[in-house]
Structure formats: C-alpha cells, structure tokens
Amino acid sequence: MDQQQQQQQQQQQQASMTYQEFIQQNEDRDGVRFSWNLWPSSRLEATRLVVPVSCLFTPLKERPDLPPLQYEPVLCSRANCRAVLNPLCQVDFRAKIWACNFCFQRNPFPPSYAGISEVNQPAELMPQFSTIEYIVQRGAPSPLIFLYVVDTCLEEEDLQALRESLQMSLSLLPPNALVGLITFGRMVQVHELSCEGIAKSYVFRGTKELTPKQIQEMLGLMKPAASGQQGRPLAPPDMAATCRFLQPVHKVDMNLTDLLGELQRDPWPVPQGKRPLRSTGVALSIAVGLLEGTFPNTGARVMLFTGGPPTQGPGMVVGDELKTPIRSWHDIQKDNARHLKKATKYYEALSNRAAENGHSIDIYACALDQTGLLEMKCCSNLTGGHIVMGDSFNTSLFKQTFQRVFTKDYNSEFRMAFGGTLEVKTSRELKVSGAIGPCVSLNAKGPSVSETEMGVGGTTQWKVCSLTPATTMGIYFEVVNQHNAPIPQGGRGAVQFITQYQHSTMQRRIRVTTVARNWADAQSQIQHIEASFDQEASAVLMARLGVFRAETEEGPDVLRWLDRQLIRLCQKFGQYNKDDPNSFRLSQSLSLYPQFMFHLRRSPFLQVFNNSPDESSYYRHHFMRQDLTQSLIMIQPILYSYSFYGPPEPVLLDSSSILPDRILLMDTFFQLVIYHGETIAQWRKAGYQDMAEYENFKQLLQAPLDDAQEILQSRFPMPRYIDTEHGGSQARFLLSKVNPSQTHNNLYAWGQESGAPILTDDVSLQVFMDHLKKLAVSSSA
C-alpha cells in the first residue's frame, strides 16, 4: 500500500469517527491526549486559541498487546535530527531508502533491512505501531538498586510497623536487586550488609554538611590513589567497596531481616519540650553521595521513611524546640519561615545531583504533624520519586501503598522503570516550549527549542529518573509557522516521543511514539478546530500550567491568570450577542470546560486555605504526574449516589445531591468518602441491616463499600478511606468539595427536600457561570 493511500485512509477513518472516539483511540494506542486535535496553521492563530497546542503523554502506558522488538531503532542520519524510523516516513522500497518525516533527509536502510519490500515491512513501518518498543543490547545490564533511608525517631509502635513493612518488602524486591540501608536520628548510620558476625555501620554526625567527595572518602569508596602499602593486591575497587553497603537481596535478606528486626529507636534522650533530633538532610545527602560514588547513571531508588521534620543540620526545617511550631502558610506569607529558603535550596541541590545520576528519591512521610514535605518535595518531584503521606506507619494507607510500589504487571514485571530520558522531536512548524511533570531538563538545545518557555523549557530532552506506567507528562508546543506561509491543505504536523529507560528486568529499552495531526486554517476551519478541542486534556494541561505557576507566584495572581484564560477562551469560542450574557452559549466540545475551571479554582492545588504547606505540596506532587483520568478526578471529584430507586448513578458534585435517603461515594483521588444520608444513617443506627427482612438495606449499605474497595485496590497512593454520615465531623470532606448551590445565604432553599445547605461564603457554580458569561460577552473586556 502506498503511503499516501494509507494516510488518506486514516483520514477517512478519522472523518468517520467522532472526535470522542478518535481521542480515545489515540490515548489507548499512544498514551497521548492533545488539547487540540487539529492544529492551527499559524503562530498568530495558535495564540488566539488561548489553550496552547499541548499534550498529556504517558510514556510507559501499559500496552499488553505490544511485543518489544529485539533490535535497535533505525535513526535518521542527519546529525541534528536522529529521529527514529516510523510509519509516517516515506519509503522507497526499491531503492531501499527512507525519508525522515521531520527533516526530510533521505536515508538508506541498514544492511539488515535488505529484505524489506512492500509486502515485507518491519513492524516500525506499520501504522498500528505508531508506538513501538525496542530492546537494546548495549552494555552490561545494571541491577536495580533500592536504598532504604529509615528514620528511627519514631514511636515504638510506628517503628515496629515500619520494621515489618520493610522486612516484608524484601520479599517483593527483584531477587537480584541491590539493597542498602541507612538509618538516621541524631546520627546517620550507613549499614554494611556483607559482614558476617558483627554488624557494622558507618556513623555520621547529623549536623555536618559533607561534600560528596568527603562522604565517599569516609565510606571508604574512593579508589585508593596508591596501591596498598603492604603490597597486598586490592580487590577490584568497585565491587569490594560497594558490596559492603549494597548487596543483592537474595544474598543478604536474612542478614537484613535481622538487622531490621534489631533496629532500635534513636537512643539519644529527647528532653521534655523538644522534638527528637532528626538528621534527614545529612541522611539524604549520604544516600545520594553513596549512590553517586558507586552506581552513577544506574537506576536506583532512595526510599526515605520519615516520621517527622528534619530538626538539625543542613536541610533542617524546624528547630527542636516544640514551642516553635513548624511553618504554616501564614508564616510563609509573612516571611516568617526561618529555614524554608535554606532548606529548599539544600534539597534542590541534592535532588539535582540525584537526577543527574538517574537516581530517584521516594518520600514516605508518616506523622500527624507536618514533616517538611514542602522543603523536601523537590527530591521526589525532580527525580520521579513517590511521595506518600500518612498519619502513621501503622496504617493500612502506608502499608498497602508501600506494597503497591512493588506491584507487577501482566508479565509479572515490576511496574517501575528507571533512568528514563524523554526526547521530543517535532516537524518544522512546531517547537517545544517545555514539559511539566516529574522531570529535570537535560538542556538539549536544538532548532526545535522554542523561545517561549512553558514549564521546564529550553530543551527537547528531559530526564525522568523513575517512571511508572501511569507517569504522565504535560508537553507544551508552540506553532511557529508564519501566517503568510500557509501549509498546503492536508499537511500534517508530526511529533515523535523517544523514551529511553531501564526496564525492571534490567534491559535498556527505547519506546518510540510518533503521532501526527492535521493542520487547519483557523480562519476558514474554526468550527473544525473547535470540534477537535479535547476539553478534558485541556483542563488538565491548563491546570498543570496553573499549578506550575503557583509554585513560584502568589496564589491570587495564578487564579486571575486562569480566569483571564477562561474568559478569553469563552470569548473566542462562545456564541453570544455582545453585552447580552443570556445569549451566551458554548458548543458541546467546550461545555464542560468552565466547570472544570470552577472546581480547579476551589481545589487544594491552588487554594492553600485549610491545608498545611506539606499537604499542598503533597497534592501538587500527585497532580503533576497522574494521567488524565486521575487528574480529572483530582480537579473535579466523582460523586456516586446509591439508593433504593435504581442502580448507583453518578450525580452532580453539588450540594443538591446530598439527600437523606441516599448513600454517596465521593472519590477525590486522595480521599474516598462514603456518606450516609440522614435517614440511611438513622436506619443503620437502628440496626435494620442486621434483620433478615431488610436484606436489601444491607445490600444497599454494602454496595458503595464494594465499589470503594475496588478503587482502594488499584490506586497509588492508596486514598484515605472515610466512612461518615450526615452530621458526622468527617462529612466536611464531602461538604468542602461539592458545589455550594445551597448555602445559608440563599435562604429560599431552606427546608426544601432537595439537598443540604453548605455553610460557606464560596461562590457557587451558578454565580461563577453568571460572572463568566457577563465578562465574556462584555464589549469592554
């Protein structure tokens, strides 16, 4: 089949599908969701669309149907292109030549492709393999490394629970993985795992900042400059040195189990009115230094388990005096957070070092008070590590979440990948503005780097030290085609994502996704473009931009920016008569978008009220990496209603949905709330469910529990599970999320059987929409 024909056929297919189906199909196949599925053909037009051409990309989206190729990808020979051969390339089977669809360079096929013909095509040329994976046999496979960094300043009960979790995790690790243990409290101990008999550990002062060189020297990792003075031959330095601290699990699991079993609480006395001295900063720097010195550029996970804030040494977040509370948003706004800047800078430097070497850092923080996630978040955010926040290590939330880090996929392989780099190649009309996700820039300059930065920009390559199948990046583009240089009808813009990573089986793999979208003239085809709008993806992509800004800008500024974007979008695509709000209409493809924005404005990602800085950091951390579905749940929680009147149904996230004879199940991603309406709660209290004749009531009570269980089973991190009822204190979780359509302010709703009033001064969706319409149609705006 001719290439041209193929494309035509594809376009025909596209035409016959709804955009809904097209979007779904693309997501399933390539893990890509674009904000626009038809691209405006000029820079000017693109900027007028308000929402940038951008996409959510899930590099390691699970594809059970995709067998990896056992050979290396064929690359374009042009030095500054190096794009991978893909189904969009023009191929001359007779001359055995292919043309790169990005730079148009004509490349001969390598000798191994001598046998190709129109009927004998390699997989990477087939349209259904727009996403394809290669296994590369380069270099010796390096083992996965898990370095546990454990806080010992815990209550005995917590420590016991943590000990058990850690011991259990040993059985979940890949048997050939290397494992290491660092414990810390007032001091930091690096445990040697290879020793027989006596248990050895290197101890460091928790207050002293050490350079990587010092750390490596003190751990005896430096290759001795001169050979041993007594002339004894030295063992190969790398193995001898590293073996002591990082050992294959299968060799040391007994040893390590014992070691963990004997793990004691930090023995230094904690005087009354003081916090325990916790040297988290030094412990992390030693972990990073150790890996840096022994396994640079190898997949490794530092797993930090901490039960409180760092209280001494570099990276300290709060002093040990209990009378000085840990910083709140209020303190930060008043510039009263003494350690904030210094600590943040310290952890950022550490994270960058870790990221440079492809090592990721997980933080498992379990405490009732804050633990300093605000300062430490970059450790995970920049290295692709997890953050898990809980009240105690002795909760199923922590235990199950931690287990879930080690879940396996349909091939019984770990759902984690390491040391990834993501490279984006674009056609000439498109440039890369930046990426938002758990990544750092690799500073790869090139012709396709845009000058307009969105997120982490100035590069076409990013390092993603740790990836899961759910890890999703937001990638932002800039259309650079000038208005006066029209693209011929039917022209297509293409983007290629090349993700190189270390698979959990230790193989190096490269996944290549090549996608293309049609260009459209925004003037003549604005309806088509409007129809191609993916409002879900766009909401998430704009939200990521907003949250990204919120990290550095004042909250109200970000909200204003978001509002302005929304108004502009409505102005552009709404149908209305000037200055007549009632005439305002939005087409179906945009109809949900304002509602997403309404909930986003209220979300903990942009509102810090009622959240500690740690919680904000935690919520933002997860928001910046989850895929579209989860992100949408975070923005606008899902509410299901259970009643005797029919099967469970999704209902509006609105106070009107709170009815006495209903059970509600709300999923906010972070919390699962089961709310029993007033009547249901009374019945339950009266014990009807235990009576044989009210079996149906029992089933009704059980239904949301079963559904919740299903969500609990699969989500990472495990959500906080809340079972509450009308009037219960925990009901606030539900009440703070629903649209306050009935409040104490609109009294007319009182006494009606149509929902529950919310005691809030927040505006309701109705008010929000009214304002939006007014502003959108205003001729002065």
3-class DSSP state of 424:
strand
- CB of residue 247 to other proteins, shortest distance in Å: 17
Total site size for other proteins, rule CB under 8 A: 27
- CB of residue 320 to other proteins, shortest distance in Å: 17
268 binds other proteins (CB under 8 A): yes
Region from 213-221, 363-371, 571-579, 587-595 binding other proteins, contact rule CB under 8 A: 213-221
Tokens of 688: 């009807």
- Nearer to other proteins among residue 213 and residue 341 (C-beta): 213
- Nearer to other proteins among residue 294 and residue 538 (C-beta): 294
341 binds other proteins (CB under 8 A): no
768 binds other proteins (CB under 8 A): no
- CB of residue 219 to other proteins, shortest distance in Å: 7
Q: Which residues of 699-725 are buried (b: 16+ CB within 10 A; e: fewer)?
A: ebbebbeebbeebbeebbbbbbbbebb
274 binds other proteins (CB under 8 A): no
Region from 209-217, 343-351, 412-420, 763-771 binding other proteins, contact rule CB under 8 A: 209-217
- CB of residue 229 to other proteins, shortest distance in Å: 5
- Nearer to other proteins among residue 186 and residue 503 (C-beta): 186
3-class DSSP state of 456:
strand
Distance, in Å, from the CA atom of 728 to the CA atom of 362, rounded to the nearest integer, reads 35
Q: Which residues of 543-563 are buried (b: 16+ CB within 10 A; e: fewer)?
A: bbbbbbbbeeeebeebbebbb
488 binds other proteins (CB under 8 A): no
Tokens of 619: 């919520």
228 binds other proteins (CB under 8 A): yes
Which of 220, 296, 486, 490 binds other proteins (CB under 8 A)? It is: 220
Contacts (CB under 8 A) with other proteins, residues 172-201: 187, 189, 197-201
270 binds other proteins (CB under 8 A): no
Build a one-symbol-per-residue string for 139-178: x at contacts with other proteins by CB under 8 A, - elsewhere: ----------------------------------------
- Nearer to other proteins among residue 138 and residue 232 (C-beta): 232
- CB of residue 184 to other proteins, shortest distance in Å: 12
Which of 184, 202, 605, 768 binds other proteins (CB under 8 A)? It is: 202
Contacts (CB under 8 A) with other proteins, residues 56-75: none
217 binds other proteins (CB under 8 A): yes
- CB of residue 226 to other proteins, shortest distance in Å: 12
Which of 48, 208, 330, 732 binds other proteins (CB under 8 A)? It is: 208
- Nearer to other proteins among residue 267 and residue 751 (C-beta): 267
- CB of residue 354 to other proteins, shortest distance in Å: 22
Distance, in Å, from the CA atom of 91 to the CA atom of 754, rounded to the nearest integer, reads 65
- Preceding peptide of 438 cis, ω within 30°: no
3-class DSSP state of 84:
strand
Region from 266-274, 351-359, 519-527, 723-731 binding other proteins, contact rule CB under 8 A: 266-274
Contacts (CB under 8 A) with other proteins, residues 114-133: none
- CB count within 10 Å of CB 224 equals 11
Distance, in Å, from the CA atom of 502 to the CA atom of 491, rounded to the nearest integer, reads 36
Distance, in Å, from the CA atom of 309 to the CA atom of 369, rounded to the nearest integer, reads 9
- CB count within 10 Å of CB 130 equals 20
- CB of residue 376 to other proteins, shortest distance in Å: 24
- Nearer to other proteins among residue 218 and residue 559 (C-beta): 218
> Of 760, 516, 365, which is closest to residue 10 (Cα–Cα)?
516
- CB of residue 152 to other proteins, shortest distance in Å: 12
3-class DSSP state of 618:
helix
236 binds other proteins (CB under 8 A): no
Distance, in Å, from the CA atom of 326 to the CA atom of 735, rounded to the nearest integer, reads 28
Sequence-distant (6+) residues with CB within 8 A of 685 are none
Contact between residue 769 and residue 671 where contact means Cβ atoms under 8 Å apart: no
- CB of residue 467 to other proteins, shortest distance in Å: 36
- CB of residue 264 to other proteins, shortest distance in Å: 8
- CB of residue 183 to other proteins, shortest distance in Å: 11
- Nearer to other proteins among residue 219 and residue 510 (C-beta): 219
Region from 218-226, 307-315, 373-381, 523-531 binding other proteins, contact rule CB under 8 A: 218-226
Q: Which residues of 635-669 are buried (b: 16+ CB within 10 A; e: fewer)?
A: bbbebbbbbeeeebeebebbbbbbbeebbbbbbbb
Which of 129, 146, 148, 204 binds other proteins (CB under 8 A)? It is: 204
Which amino acid appears at position 110 of this protein? P
- CB of residue 206 to other proteins, shortest distance in Å: 9
> Following DSSP, what letter does each residue of 554-606 receive, concatenated?
-HHHHHHHHHHHHHHHHHHH-EEETTEEEEEE--GGGTTHHHHHHHHHHSTTT
For 424, list phi and psi in degrees, rounded to 5: -120, 125
Task: Give me the helices (H) in 325-384, please.
Answer: 329-333, 340-356, 373-381
- CB count within 10 Å of CB 121 equals 16
Contact between residue 366 and residue 392 where contact means Cβ atoms under 8 Å apart: yes
3-class DSSP state of 518:
strand
Which of 79, 119, 140, 232 binds other proteins (CB under 8 A)? It is: 232
- Nearer to other proteins among residue 214 and residue 352 (C-beta): 214
Which of 120, 229, 484, 575 binds other proteins (CB under 8 A)? It is: 229
* First-last CA distance in the chain: 53
- Nearer to other proteins among residue 187 and residue 775 (C-beta): 187
> Following DSSP, what letter does each residue of 634-661 receive, concatenated?
HHS-EEEEEETTEEEEE--SBGGG--TT
Which of 262, 693, 706, 753 binds other proteins (CB under 8 A)? It is: 262
Region from 216-224, 286-294, 360-368, 700-708 binding other proteins, contact rule CB under 8 A: 216-224
- Nearer to other proteins among residue 208 and residue 408 (C-beta): 208
- Nearer to other proteins among residue 204 and residue 584 (C-beta): 204
Neighbour-count burial of 735, counting CB atoms closer than 10 A to its CB (0-12 exposed, 13-18 middle, 19+ buried): middle
Contact between residue 360 and residue 384 where contact means Cβ atoms under 8 Å apart: yes
What does the binding site for other proteins look like in residue numbers (CB under 8 A)? 187, 189, 197-205, 208, 210, 214, 217-220, 228-230, 232, 262, 264, 267-269
